Amino acid sequence: MQYKKKVKIVNNAGFHLRAVAVFVREAEKFKADIKVKNDAIEADGKSIMGLTTLGAGKGVEIEIKAEGPDAKEAIAGLMKLINDKFGEAE
* 25-71 confidence digits (pLDDT tens): 999 999 999 999 999 999 999 999 999 999 899 999 999 999 999 99
Clarify whether 64 is annotated catalytic: no
Q: Which of 5, 13, 16, 33 is catalytic?
A: 16
pLDDT at 90: 66
Q: Are 60 and 9 in contact (CB under 8 A)?
A: yes
pLDDT-derived band of residue 84, with 50, 70 and 90 as boundaries?
very high
pLDDT-derived band of residue 87, with 50, 70 and 90 as boundaries?
confident
The topology (CATH level 3) of 2-87 is Histidine-containing Protein; Chain: A; (3.30.1340)
Average pLDDT over residues 10-16: 91
E-strand stretches of 9-90? 33-38, 41-44, 61-67
- Specify the pTM: 0.93
Question: Half-sphere exposure of 35 toward its Cβ, with a 13 Å CA cutoff?
Answer: 13
